[in-house]
Structure 1
Amino acid sequence: MCTAALLDASLAAAADGSGPLAADPLSTWQTDGIVWSLASANGVVYVGGTFGTVRPPGAAPGQRTVKRTNFAAFDATTGKLLPCAPSFTGLNHTVRAMKASPDGRTLYVGGSFNTVGSTRAANVVALKTADCSLSKDFHPSVSATVRAIDTTDSAVYLGGDFGRVSGQVRNRVAAFAPKGSLLPFKADLDHPVRALSAAASHGRVFVGGDFESANGKNDRALVTLNATSGSTLLSYPGWFPPQSSVKAIARDTTRFYVGAEGHGPGIFDGRIAGRLTNGTMVWKDTCRGATQALVPFQGVLYSASHAHDCAETPGGFPDRGDRQHLLAQSMADRRILHWFPDTNDGLGEHVGPRALAVAQGVLWVGGEFTQVNEKPQQGITRFGSRDTGAPKVPALSLAATEAGKVTIAWRASWDRDDASLTYKIYRDGKLVARQTESSTYWDRPQMRYTDSVKAGSRHRYTIEVTDGTNTSRKSAALTVTAPPKAPSRTAGGRP
């Protein structure tokens, strides 16, 4: 997407207030464990992680299960489970990273495993997407866990915990030709790499992780390397405090986006946007709650985290002691948009979602959650463009009465993907008023309506709320009797 188109899309997202996706989850299969990675190619979404079975939408744990050992494939449009099902096994047996080749013909899979099906492997393999078979050309040996993969037409970049690759020293990052030969690209990082993004047109690779130094210099958490040699091109002093590391990197044609995780006081947990050309910062948010994954889509940066305090970021929320696990931000100016689907913390380390991917206009989310929007759903969920969820109906209460007047009150409802809601007030089944108000889950204002009626009359009030697409059911009725008029008096005080 060109710069002008990117800005137009971002402005459209800002004007709409929520972005291109609805917050209502689509019907999706589930896993019995944690999803660490998602990738897509040719209309298929691949799911990798630490799990032994999958089960259909709506099925309870242990019910109607289908064996899938740490890897599964789904139709990107319908969500249907596909037969592509190589098993990834070994001592730690987990898939941590996946990325398709630019032409979509090959899926590179990394993690911690030593067997794929009946074939020996060493933490990384390549699958042919046409028939889900292992590539016989690509079979490097990697000494420890692979945590990140990115691809270009001429290279496959790996990042992780390893120190040797195919018998050669490669400290936490390496590059292979698509057919599997080790490339001269070489860099020295002192701690694990957790994220990679290769910008082939710029001749550089963005590398993020836990490291404190790169190529012998104090470059912590994020560095840009020459895509051919591995030498340092750019560093980012002051971007990350000592307690924070980079967990996710994504990019479009003009910018790169970084998500961080921190531990202890003075941390940085949020997201940063920088320019691909020179690495200068465009914006930085200040949300607290570690970021695990990022994906840009139609002018919106979607993120997976467990954000709990975004009070200092435009459009953000205060710390209330709860967590919001999915966020959408304007890529133009970091503003948090009104898109608030949510998961629970779930299994494992209890951070909720860990992986994001967009395929066929649908956002796929994977992680360790067991609920989505307060309903059971484990490991995977999806969000499309169709808004199907109605706001919850508020409860009416009587605020005041006087002769010929009745004032009813309610607390504003809220909707996960629409800030502005319209309230319709009915008296005895007839629409008598409309009010429109904006609200969020952390800011739901009190609302009132004063109705003029005949003194001494009795009425039933109900209310419904609409987001413009979906309308709630009507509330329970509130029955009110308006006071009668006070008797008139003569000048002498007698009736």
Structure 2
Amino acid sequence: MCCTTALLDASLAAAADGKPSFSADPLATWQTDGIVWSLAAANGVVYVGGTFDNVRPPGAAPGQQQVKRRNFAAFDAVTGKLLPCAPSFTGHHHTVRAMKASADGRVLYVGGSFNRVGSTAVANAVAFDTSTCTLSKTFRPSVSATVRAVEPTDRAIYLGGDFSRIGGQPRNRVAAVTPQGALLPFRADVDLPVRALAAATSHGRLFVGGDFESVNGQGARSLVTLNPTSGKTVLTYPNWFPPLSSVKTIARDKTRFYVGAEGHGPGIFDGRIAGRLTNGTLVWKDTCRGATQAIVPYEGVLYSASHAHDCDETPGGFPERGDRQHLLAQSLDNRKILHWFPDTNDGLGEHVGPRALAVSRGTLWVGGEFTQVNGADQQGLTRFGARDTGAPDVPVLAVSGTGPGAVTLTWRASSDRDDASLTYRIYRDGKLVAQQTKTSTYWDMPKMSHTDTAPPGSHRYAIEVTDGTNTSPRSDAVTVTVPPKTDRTRAAGGPR
């Protein structure tokens, strides 16, 4: 077992290149007038669920150019175009909380707190034919309270949430139904809400996360693995989560499962964990604070939505600064935080920023309660592609000293959201005279300098910075008068 596990880990490490697939520059994206709780992708379409009444085009101000969409909308994954699939979800708390498509993309399963889809009476869980955007006539499980997680497999659709009954039968917060909606014998007793599910049926495991302390009558804080057929406990994870930390999101790839948590109070855990599918053992655990809401592994990188702060003990991380970083990329192999720092604000509701992630057709979609992305107005929804279009910040150039035949220039290193290594170009009177390359981050921008040997007279200096693809505008020019070298200076070998 040890050797097999080591080979799997080595294979994954070789496959993970540690480089994000996405730029940190957002693409033009439609917006919502409320909170996005869930995203799902199928066949080149991204489905958006949440608590909102309307969507509006990229760049439109709140209340302008609105198109009615009641808690559900669909978009082309690549172009971002709003699609006509627009069932309305109403009643109860009129919100969509969970969505996931079947493996073949033909069916979209939706859960939340609602009792009508269009004019059809339902009870918190439904399914759609994705080719026609029509409501399934058979998948109508009657769920007694909010559904917060949906996990479809070929034989069973797993539901998690706040409920205690399905179809009038007892099911405490987790249940399984057939693809036609009939209740299955699977049964587990969970004492508090379930918020995340991930199935690995080939390994005989269903991962369940949430607020709970007890499952099937034994202690199981926040995370448990169940038998996907019976619901019996397979594994618990003692010491993984302190009190008052809840699992909000679970994802998996071929060899590992990944967990994100949110905590409240001192000594809590807010970060991310990687474990092995084969035996449930811990691979790594980061220590960032800041309530992880969603994770998605993609091409060797784990993307997460949170409001991260104080990541100083995680490789590549940042210290506590009193601010928040809402999107992160980490190496799947070793948890290192990679240089990819698009950001949102905290936004509406509970002020945690992004809440949902999905990747489709090479585009990363992000939903949540934010109202800004990278400092620009953008509500509820954004997305990122592969093309890097953002230039680094423009440095401010200053003169720290002049002497006969020489000028010393200083500036603070810039930051760029998706490139750590930046090249700085110094111009004298419009002509390139020097360049330097330096690594920097938004929390560590070192002071830089250059001494230019210049002929006597008046000169104008400016600086620009490039990430290799995009170049900033040149800075405002500073004018310097360089005195000529004196006889004494020449004799001494120039300025010192």
Scaled by the length of structure 1, the TM-score of the pair is 0.96
Aligned to 1:250: 251
Question: Displacement, 1:485?
Answer: 3.1
Distance in 1 (alpha carbons) for counterparts of 2:297 and 2:447: 36
Q: Point out where structure 2 has 5 or more consecutive residues left out of the alignment.
A: 1-7, 490-496
Aligned to 2:286: 285
- 1:344 is matched by which residue type in structure 2? N
Contact 1:310/1:319 (CA < 8 Å) preserved in 2? yes
Distance in 2 (alpha carbons) for counterparts of 1:294 and 1:226: 23
Structure 1 pair 224–488 and aligned structure 2 pair: CA distance change class (3 A): closer
- 1:271 is matched by which residue type in structure 2? R
Contact 1:293/1:305 (CA < 8 Å) preserved in 2? yes
Contact 1:92/1:112 (CA < 8 Å) preserved in 2? yes
Aligned to 1:426: 427
Question: Displacement, 1:487?
Answer: 5.6
Aligned to 2:111: 110
Aligned to 1:482: 482
Aligned to 1:210: 211
Aligned to 2:5: none
Q: Does 1:226 find its partner at 2:227?
A: yes
Distance in 2 (alpha carbons) for counterparts of 1:50 and 1:430: 56
Aligned to 1:472: 472
Distance in 2 (alpha carbons) for counterparts of 1:153 and 1:56: 37
Question: Displacement, 1:9?
Answer: 3.4
Question: Displacement, 1:201?
Answer: 1.3
Question: Displacement, 1:202?
Answer: 1.0
Within a 5 Å distance, the mapping from 1:63-462 to structure 2 comes to 63-454=64-455, 456-462=456-462
Distance in 2 (alpha carbons) for counterparts of 1:156 and 1:465: 52
Question: Displacement, 1:429?
Answer: 0.8
2:15 to 9, 12, 20: 9
Distance in 1 (alpha carbons) for counterparts of 2:138 and 2:393: 56
- 2:34 is matched by which residue type in structure 1? G
Aligned to 1:42: 43
Distance in 1 (alpha carbons) for counterparts of 2:443 and 2:260: 24
Q: Bigger CA drift: 252-261 or 392-401?
A: 392-401
Question: Displacement, 1:91?
Answer: 2.5
Instruction: Name the SS of the counterpart of 2:14 in structure 1.
Output: helix
Distance in 2 (alpha carbons) for counterparts of 1:362 and 1:3: 27
Instruction: Name the SS of the counterpart of 1:201 in structure 2.
Output: helix
1:358-414: CA deviations, max 9, x gaps?
000110000000000000000000011100000111010001111111100000001
Question: Displacement, 1:483?
Answer: 2.7
- 1:54 is matched by which residue type in structure 2? V
Distance in 2 (alpha carbons) for counterparts of 1:204 and 1:280: 14
Aligned to 1:492: none
Contact 1:6/1:298 (CA < 8 Å) preserved in 2? no
Q: Bigger CA drift: 341-350 or 99-108?
A: 99-108
Instruction: Name the SS of the counterpart of 2:438 in structure 1.
Output: strand
Q: Does 1:463 find its partner at 2:479?
A: no
1:271-326: CA deviations, max 9, x gaps?
00000010000000000000000000000000000001100000000010000000
Instruction: Name the SS of the counterpart of 2:219 in structure 1.
Output: coil
Distance in 1 (alpha carbons) for counterparts of 2:259 and 2:92: 32
Distance in 2 (alpha carbons) for counterparts of 1:6 and 1:169: 41
Instruction: Name the SS of the counterpart of 1:325 in structure 2.
Output: strand
- 2:15 is matched by which residue type in structure 1? A
Distance in 2 (alpha carbons) for counterparts of 1:3 and 1:84: 42
Question: Displacement, 1:457?
Answer: 2.0
Q: Bigger CA drift: 256-265 or 18-27?
A: 18-27
Distance in 2 (alpha carbons) for counterparts of 1:7 and 1:486: 62
CA RMSD between the two structures: 1.2
Distance in 1 (alpha carbons) for counterparts of 2:12 and 2:108: 28
Structure 1 pair 73–3 and aligned structure 2 pair: CA distance change class (3 A): farther
Distance in 2 (alpha carbons) for counterparts of 1:488 and 1:265: 67
Contact 1:404/1:482 (CA < 8 Å) preserved in 2? yes
Distance in 2 (alpha carbons) for counterparts of 1:178 and 1:57: 37
Distance in 2 (alpha carbons) for counterparts of 1:66 and 1:393: 38
1:165-211: CA deviations, max 9, x gaps?
11111000000111111111100000000000011211210000000
- 2:114 is matched by which residue type in structure 1? F
Question: Displacement, 1:4?
Answer: 6.5
Scaled by the length of structure 2, the TM-score of the pair is 0.96
- 1:277 is matched by which residue type in structure 2? T
Contact 1:210/1:246 (CA < 8 Å) preserved in 2? yes
Distance in 2 (alpha carbons) for counterparts of 1:384 and 1:298: 14
Instruction: Name the SS of the counterpart of 2:15 in structure 1.
Output: helix
- 1:60 is matched by which residue type in structure 2? A
Distance in 2 (alpha carbons) for counterparts of 1:480 and 1:54: 53
- 1:151 is matched by which residue type in structure 2? P
Distance in 1 (alpha carbons) for counterparts of 2:111 and 2:52: 15
Distance in 1 (alpha carbons) for counterparts of 2:109 and 2:13: 32
Contact 1:143/1:164 (CA < 8 Å) preserved in 2? yes
Question: Displacement, 1:484?
Answer: 3.3
- 2:416 is matched by which residue type in structure 1? D
Contact 1:462/1:476 (CA < 8 Å) preserved in 2? yes
Distance in 2 (alpha carbons) for counterparts of 1:297 and 1:328: 10
Aligned to 1:493: none
Instruction: Name the SS of the counterpart of 2:214 in structure 1.
Output: coil
Distance in 2 (alpha carbons) for counterparts of 1:363 and 1:488: 64
**What is the percentage of aligned positions where both structures have the same residue?**
75
Structure 1 pair 130–148 and aligned structure 2 pair: CA distance change class (3 A): same
- 1:99 is matched by which residue type in structure 2? K
Question: Displacement, 1:486?
Answer: 4.1
Distance in 1 (alpha carbons) for counterparts of 2:150 and 2:112: 10
Distance in 2 (alpha carbons) for counterparts of 1:451 and 1:362: 45
Aligned to 1:59: 60
